[in-house]
């Protein structure tokens, strides 16, 4: 009887390692394949196509991708800005946290329109940012970014943003990747 218990323990441990190995492999494969639940694409906008080259950086890509309900990116590709490029990136941020000025989430287009629409398009929960400041910076030549579309975000039991087709730019270390920043204040504008 003790031999059978030992055999079951060995089989259980082997099964656990097998399942763990398969789940680790799946994560790597998921980053390389398009997610059928994502909207839009991670292709560069036509006007920026000559200013970037696609590069392989799986660690950076994994850093930018998020599971359903967590925000981050649903899908993405890693790009590196070309030498002598002048690319403007924009970030809406929270003035009560000065460290958020050079956060990780950016866009190639300046935000406009209703704040509620911007929050929904970019899956920005109200708890994460007041969105009362805007930074406009130049991406340094040779900087790596992840371009992709937004993953769903659960902000509370009453508010969930679905996946979005709006492209976002993930910059892992903006303080080292951008310069020449200008800051703008949000103001009330009722219509």
pLDDT digits (tens, 9 = 90+) for 161-190: 999 999 999 999 999 999 999 999 988 787
Q: Find out whether 142 and 122 touch, Cβ atoms under 8 Å.
A: no
- pLDDT at residue 129 above 60? yes
0.85 surpassed by pTM: no
Q: How confident is the model at residue 148 (pLDDT cuts 50, 70, 90)?
A: very high
Tokens of 128: 């994460």
The predicted pLDDT at position 22 comes to: 35
End-to-end Cα, the chain, rounded Å = 79
Q: What backbone phi and psi angles, to 5 degrees, belong to 146?
A: -110, 125
Tokens of 12: 């259980």
Q: Give the SS3 label for residue 65.
A: strand
Higher pLDDT, 156 or 6: 156
**Per-domain boundaries in the chain:** 1-33, 35-185
- pLDDT at residue 16 above 90? no
Angle at 53 between CA 50 and CA 58, to 5 degrees: 155
Higher pLDDT, 136 or 20: 136
Nearest to 123 by CA among 172, 177, 66: 66
The predicted pLDDT at position 34 comes to: 61
Q: What backbone phi and psi angles, to 5 degrees, belong to 163?
A: -55, 155
Segment 119-125 mean pLDDT: 96
Q: Residue 174 and residue 171: Cα distance in Å, rounded?
A: 6
pLDDT digits (tens, 9 = 90+) for 18-68: 333 333 333 333 444 567 899 999 999 999 999 999 999 999 999 999 999
Q: Give the SS3 label for residue 42.
A: coil
Q: Give the SS3 label for residue 55.
A: coil
The predicted pLDDT at position 10 comes to: 37
pLDDT digits (tens, 9 = 90+) for 96-115: 998 899 999 999 999 999 99
The predicted pLDDT at position 138 comes to: 98
């Amino acid at each position: 009887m003790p031999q059978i218990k030992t055999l079951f323990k060995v089989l259980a441990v082997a099964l656990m390692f097998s399942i763990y190995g398969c789940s680790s492999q799946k994560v790597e494969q998921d980053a390389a394949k398009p997610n059928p639940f994502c909207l839009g694409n991670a292709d560069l906008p036509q006007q920026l196509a000559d200013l970037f080259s696609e590069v392989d950086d799986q660690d950076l890509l994994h850093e930018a991708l998020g599971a359903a309900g967590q925000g981050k990116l649903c899908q993405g590709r890693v790009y590196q800005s070309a030498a002598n490029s002048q690319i403007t990136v924009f970030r809406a941020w929270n003035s009560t946290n000065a460290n958020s000025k050079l956060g990780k989430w950016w866009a190639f287009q300046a935000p406009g329109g209703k704040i509620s629409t911007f929050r929904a398009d970019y899956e920005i929960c109200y708890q994460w940012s007041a969105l009362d400041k805007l930074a406009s910076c130049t991406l340094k030549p040779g900087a790596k970014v992840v371009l992709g579309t937004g993953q769903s975000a659960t902000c509370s039991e009453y508010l969930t943003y679905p996946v979005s087709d709006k492209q976002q730019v993930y910059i892992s270390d903006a303080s080292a990747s951008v310069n020449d920043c200008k800051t703008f204040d949000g103001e009330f504008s009722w219509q």
